C-alpha cells in the first residue's frame, strides 16, 4: 500500500507540516482529520476546506486527493475561509485582490509588484512583502491562509530589500 506525502499549511497550523496519509487513493476527509491534529488551538468548529497550492477553488473532500507531480510532495492548504482579502501598499498606493488561502506569498508579490505596480521582474526581485505594521517577511512559499489569524484578510507592505553595510 502506497502512502502519499503532503506539505500542509493552514489556518492555525504552525509553519509547514509534513503529513503522511496511508493509501494513494486517500480522500480529502482523511487530510482534514490529519490537519485537525496539527492545529494549535484544536478549534474544529465550522467547515474546513481543502485547497491545492495557488488554486482558488477548493477540492471536494469526498474525492480522491490529487497525485503529486514528479515525485514531489503535494502542497495543500486547509482553511475555513474560501478566499483571503489581500491588500498590498507601496509608495502610498494600495492594491487589493482576493486569493485562495493556498496562494503563496511569492505569487502575491509578483501580482502586486509586476501587475499592479508596474515593476519589471528584475525590480520585483528587489522587493519583498512585509506584514503591515511589523518587520515580519514571510518566506515565499508561505500560504496566505497561514497569516490570517482569526480573519479572512491580510495586509502587506511591499518594501525594497536593503543593502547590509556598516
Partner 1 sequence: MEERLVPPDERALRLHLESGRFLSAGAAGRWRLVALDYPYVFIGVVARDEVEYVLRCECRDYPRTPATAQLWDMEANKPLPTARWPAGQGRVALAFNPGWKNGTCLYLPCDRLSIEGHDQWKTDHPSLLWDPDKGLCKYLGIVHELLNSKDYGGRRAA
Q: Which three cell numbers, joined as nine digits, stand for 57?
A: 477553488
Q: Taking CB under 8 A as the rule, does residue 141 contact partner 1? A: yes
Q: Taking CB under 8 A as the rule, does residue 133 contact partner 1? A: no
Q: Taking CB under 8 A as the rule, does residue 8 contact partner 1? A: yes
CB of 2 to partner 1, least distance (A): 18
35 burial level (CB within 10 Å; 0-12, 13-18, 19+): buried
- Out of 108, 128, 144, 158, the only residue in the binding site for partner 1 (CB under 8 A) is 128
CA distances from 66 to 1, 32, 71, 74 (A): 17, 14, 13, 8
CB of 45 to partner 1, least distance (A): 25
Q: What is the C-alpha to C-alpha distance for residues 22 and 19, in angstroms, rounded to an integer? A: 10
Q: Taking CB under 8 A as the rule, does residue 110 contact partner 1? A: no
Give whichever of 5 and 56 is closer to partner 1, judged by the CB atom.
5
Q: Taking CB under 8 A as the rule, does residue 125 contact partner 1? A: yes
158 burial level (CB within 10 Å; 0-12, 13-18, 19+): buried
Question: Count residues contacting partner 1 (CB under 8 A)?
Answer: 26
Q: What is the DSSP-derived secondary structure letter of residue 66?
A: P
Stretch that binds partner 1, among 14-22, 41-49, 94-102, 149-157 (CB under 8 A): 14-22
What backbone phi and psi angles, to 5 degrees, belong to 37? -65, -25
Q: Taking CB under 8 A as the rule, does residue 166 contact partner 1? A: yes
Asked if 106 and 141 touch (Cβ cutoff 8 Å), the reply is yes
Contact residues for partner 1, defined by CB under 8 A? 7-8, 15-18, 72-73, 75, 122-123, 125-126, 128, 130, 135-137, 139, 141, 161-166
Amino acid at each position: 500500500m502506497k502512502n502519499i506525502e503532503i506539505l500542509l499549511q493552514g489556518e492555525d497550523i504552525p509553519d509547514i507540516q509534513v503529513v503522511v496519509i496511508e493509501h494513494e487513493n486517500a480522500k480529502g476527509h482523511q487530510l482534514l482529520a490529519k490537519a485537525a491534529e496539527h492545529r494549535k488551538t484544536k478549534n474544529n468548529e465550522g467547515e474546513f476546506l481543502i485547497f491545492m497550492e495557488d488554486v482558488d477553488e477548493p477540492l471536494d473532500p469526498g474525492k480522491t486527493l490529487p497525485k503529486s507531480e514528479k515525485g514531489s510532495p503535494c502542497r495543500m492548504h486547509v482553511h475555513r475561509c474560501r478566499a483571503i482579502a489581500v491588500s498590498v501598499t507601496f509608495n502610498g498606493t494600495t492594491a487589493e485582490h482576493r486569493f485562495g488561502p493556498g496562494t503563496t506569498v511569492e505569487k502575491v508579490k509578483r501580482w502586486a509588484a509586476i501587475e499592479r505596480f508596474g515593476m519589471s521582474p528584475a525590480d520585483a526581485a528587489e522587493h519583498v512583502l512585509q506584514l503591515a505594521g511589523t518587520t515580519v517577511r514571510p518566506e515565499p512559499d508561505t500560504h496566505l491562509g497561514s497569516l490570517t489569524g482569526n480573519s479572512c484578510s491580510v495586509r502587506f507592505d511591499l518594501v525594497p530589500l536593503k543593502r547590509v553595510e556598516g
